[in-house]
A and B are shown apart, each in its own frame.
Chain A
Amino acid sequence: MHKENHRFLFLILIPAFILLALFIYFPIFKGILIAFQKYSFYDLSNIHFNGLDNFRAVFTDSNYRFAQIIFNTIVWVFVSLFFQFILGFILALLMRKPFKGRGIYSGLVFYPWALSGFAIGLIWAWIFNGQFGVLNDILLKMNLIESNIGFLSNPKFAMASVIVVNIWYGVPFFAIMLLAALQSVPEELMEAAKIDGAGPIKRLFSIIIPYIKPTIISTTLLRTMWIMNFPDIIYAMTNGGPSNSTNILATQMINKILKFYDYGQGSAIGVIIMFILFTYAIGYLKFTSRKEDFML
């Protein structure tokens, strides 16, 4: 009976794994191979292995400095993550206790999660527009600036601008996840601490945070990977410019593929991203040592 059951379970797993094999595992395997091949859409008759040439080309490309792209990626990932988390946590704490209209409120404040990164990028590109953008108008009216700022055309402001948009997009995710985790903090424990004289800050650090630590660890890790793999907003707003000031690994990879049709070099960047993320994930999990939170 158990053995028969086992066979049945394998049988119903087959459709999912056939699709995964055809459209995920095989392409990934092929993508890794392509990273070590000369593989350009313009020259499809001449595809061959070329060792580490693609990586060398990516590192020494004269259109950008590779060190700058790595630096941009780090800034993009960690500054976004930091503010997404802090603001999302604050929002979740504000929403922890039920209040009138909380359902509608959460619908209105969480909706950015459901939008596409690309559309969000376009919306904000218009808000940030250097000539007719509404943000410049507001800042001028408040006398905070004296003349229009080219938020997306000035290399000094471009990265900060796209990060602001990414933060706006990511706050609902953290708020949703942390709010759900906060519901598991026992109210009696909070009340007891209150009676013992623990202030709000004390309660936050000695009860709430330890209680939801597994959620904090898993969401921040997953979000780091996701932000790193998320070129949509930058692609819509600046496409890496001006003068590479917002160019991150992911946008550079998209450009290699969609603009230069150089699948070899594009895939090489993909391999670099995967390598970084794997190392990061393993290190992060070792450091926080809570692997089991993911597996269940």
Chain B
Amino acid sequence: MKTFLKIGKFVLLALFLFMAIAPLYWVIVTSLKGDREIYSYPIKYWPQSFNLDNYKYLFQISNFGIYFRNSIIVSLVASFGALITSTFSGYALSRFRRKRTKALFLLAMYFTQIIPTYMIMAPLFTIFAGVQQTDSLMALTMVYISVMIAFSTIMGKSFFDRIPIALEEAAMIDGCTKTQTIFKIIIPLSLPGLAAIFSFAFVNIWNELFLAVMLLNSDSKMTIPVALNSFISKAGVSWGVLSAGIVVALLPTMIVFAFAQKYIILGLTAGAVKG
């Protein structure tokens, strides 16, 4: 009975693993096949010849290098911005003594998590149009920081809650200012939490599509999701090239996830809101 259970468990775990990996395998295989191989029978489960033509073609027909650079810059700057802002706001929410003040601000944060993100698409467009800031990566970055602030703050608060106030009080007695205690006590003690906030924000921002579609329109400003979206309607983009684009688009988040998985899981379970 016991070995039977063990085998059953093993089979189930293997099944989950297969289901998780198979689609990724298939998109990579497709990206390495030539067009003739993709659109022919019988379907090959292993590419006849590994060729990187789809990847070359991807960078030829579009400015994929530029989209990649745009996405990297926007994601890095915005996650870093969200991290800094929410380190302070999360700390504040963690240390407020008045229960009502605390509850009010927390509620203001939670509220943003319930509203549909695309509800702010059209208004944001009209706001930025009013100040001639449409089609601006800078504007998009600001929006991304704001979108991530609430979740990052809630996450930050839950990490800071675990640091005893006595530590700060001791530092203050030793002559530290309040700002110094944040930099010398709080931040060093919550580095895993801050890594969680950063990697979580990076993944979410890298993947964001609709706000970017709404706010960007020139080719040189596109982020990768916007570019993939434009490929769908573009003539001459085969499934091979599209697959190559998807693989390139997935790489950074997969790398971040591989290295920061521990922190991301930490962040998800600490904040427990969107994801």
Chain B residue nearest in CB terms to A132: B39
Least CB separation from A8: chain B residue: B178
Contact: B265 with A132, CB < 8 Å? no
Question: Which B residues from 143 to 189 make CB contacts under 8 A with A?
Answer: 143, 145-147, 149-150, 153, 178
Judged by a CB distance under 8 angstroms, whether A160 is at the interface is no
A5 within 8 A of B: yes
Chain A hits for B150, CB < 8 A: 20, 24
**Given the contacts A118-B209, A266-B122, A16 and B20 also touching, CB distance less than 8 Å:** no
Chain A 266-281 interface mask (CB, 8 Å, partner B; 1/0) = 1100110110011001
Q: Are B124 and A257 touching (Cβ within 8 A)? A: no
Residues from chain B with a CB closer than 8 A to the CB of A79 are: none
B258–A107 CB distance below 8 A: yes
Task: State in angstroms the CA–CA spacing of A132 and B91 once bound together.
Answer: 54
A30 within 8 Å of B (CB atoms):
yes
CA distance A28 to B108 in the complex (A): 13
Tell me if A253 counts as interface (CB < 8 A to partner B).
Answer: yes
- Judged by a CB distance under 8 angstroms, whether B68 is at the interface is no
Q: Which of B121, B142, B145, B257 contacts A111 (CB 8 A)?
A: B257
Q: Are B116 and A137 in contact (CB under 8 A)?
A: no
Chain B residue contacts of A117, Cβ below 8 A? 207, 209
Interface size class of B (residues with CB under 8 A): 35 or more
List the B residue with the shortest CB-CB distance to A102: B13
Query: In the complex the two chains form, is B253's CB within 8 Å of A115's CB?
Result: yes
The answer to whether A107 touches B257, judged by C-beta atoms less than 8 angstroms apart, is: yes
Main secondary structure of the interface of B (DSSP, over half): helix
Q: Which of B53-111 contact A (CB under 8 A)?
A: 85-86, 88-89, 91-93, 95-98, 103, 105-106, 108, 110
Docked-complex contact A105 and B146, CB < 8 angstroms: no
Interface size for A (C-beta < 8 A) is 90
> In the complex, what's the smallest C-beta–C-beta distance from B159 to chain A, in angstroms?
14
Q: Mark A87-124, 1 if CB is under 8 A from B, else 0.
A: 10011001100000000011111111111111110111
Pick from A28, A105, A124, A173: contact of B119, CB below 8 A: A28
Closest to B255 in A: A114
Minimum C-beta distance from B184 to chain A (A) = 16
Can you list, as one digit per residue, whether each of A109-147 has a CB less than 8 Å from chain B (1) or not (0)? 111111111111011101101001010010000000000
Binary flags per residue of A16-33, CB closer than 8 Å to B gives 1, else 0: 110110111111101100
How far is A12 from B115 in the complex, measured between Cα atoms in Å? 25
Task: From the candidates B23, B126, B207, name the one contacting A127 in the complex (CB within 8 A).
Answer: B23
Chain B residues contacting A94 (CB-CB under 8 Å) are 9, 12-13, 16
From 241 to 296 in chain A, residues with beta carbon under 8 angstroms from any chain B beta carbon are: 250, 253-254, 257-258, 263, 266-267, 270-271, 273-274, 277-278, 281, 294-295
Output the nearest chain B residue to A12 by Cβ-Cβ distance.
B88
Query: Of B96, B118, B207, B246, which one neighbours A257 at CB under 8 angstroms?
Result: B118
B123 to chain A, nearest CB (A): 4
> Could you tell me if A26 and B127 are in contact, using CB atoms closer than 8 angstroms?
yes
How far, in angstroms, from A25 to B30 measured CA to CA in the complex? Answer: 44
Q: How far is the CA of A278 from the CA of B118 in the complex (A)?
A: 17
- Whether B89 and A107, one on each chain, are in contact in the complex, defined by CB atoms closer than 8 angstroms, is no
Q: Does A226 contact B (CB under 8 A)?
A: yes
Would you call A219 an interface residue if the criterion is a C-beta within 8 Å of the partner chain's C-beta atoms?
yes
Q: Residue on A with the closest CB to B84?
A: A15
Q: How far is the CB of B80 from chain A (nearest CB, A)?
A: 14
| B26 with A126: CB separation less than 8 A | yes
Chain B: minimal CB distance from A143 (Å): 15
Known: A127-B26, A250-B118, A270-B116. A116 touches B103 (CB 8 A): no
- The docked-state distance in angstroms from the alpha carbon of A113 to that of B204 is 10
**Inter-chain contact A123/B26, CB cutoff 8 Å:** yes
Q: How far is the CA of A79 from the CA of B106 in the complex (A)?
A: 32
Chain B residues near A263 (CB-CB < 8 A)? 122, 126
Contact B274 A226 (CB under 8 A): yes
Question: In the bound complex, do residue B153 and residue A16 qualify as a contact, i.e. CB atoms below 8 Å apart?
Answer: yes
Chain A residues closer than 8 Å to B235, beta-carbon distance: none
Most A CB atoms within 10 A — which of B17, B114, B150? B114
A27 engages B123 (CB within 8 Å)? yes
- In contact, A10 and B92 (Cβ under 8 angstroms): yes
Residues of A within 8 A of B51 (CB): none
Which positions in A face B, CB cutoff 8 Å?
Answer: 2, 5-6, 8-10, 12-13, 15-17, 19-20, 22-28, 30-31, 34, 39, 87, 90-91, 94-95, 105-120, 122-124, 126-127, 129, 132, 134, 137, 168, 171-173, 176-177, 180-181, 215, 218-219, 222, 225-226, 229, 231-232, 235-236, 250, 253-254, 257-258, 263, 266-267, 270-271, 273-274, 277-278, 281, 294-295
Contacts A107-B258, A119-B225, A177-B272 known; 20 new A-B pairs at CB < 8 A = A6-B97, A9-B91, A16-B89, A19-B149, A24-B150, A28-B120, A95-B13, A107-B261, A114-B256, A116-B253, A118-B225, A119-B228, A122-B228, A176-B265, A176-B269, A222-B273, A250-B118, A253-B118, A270-B118, A273-B116
Listed by A's residue number, 10 A-B pairs whose Cβ atoms lie within 8 Å are A6-B96, A17-B89, A23-B124, A23-B146, A31-B120, A90-B12, A113-B264, A115-B250, A215-B272, A235-B209
Q: Top 7 closest A-B pairs, CB basis?
A: A116-B207, A16-B89, A23-B146, A27-B120, A263-B122, A27-B123, A114-B257
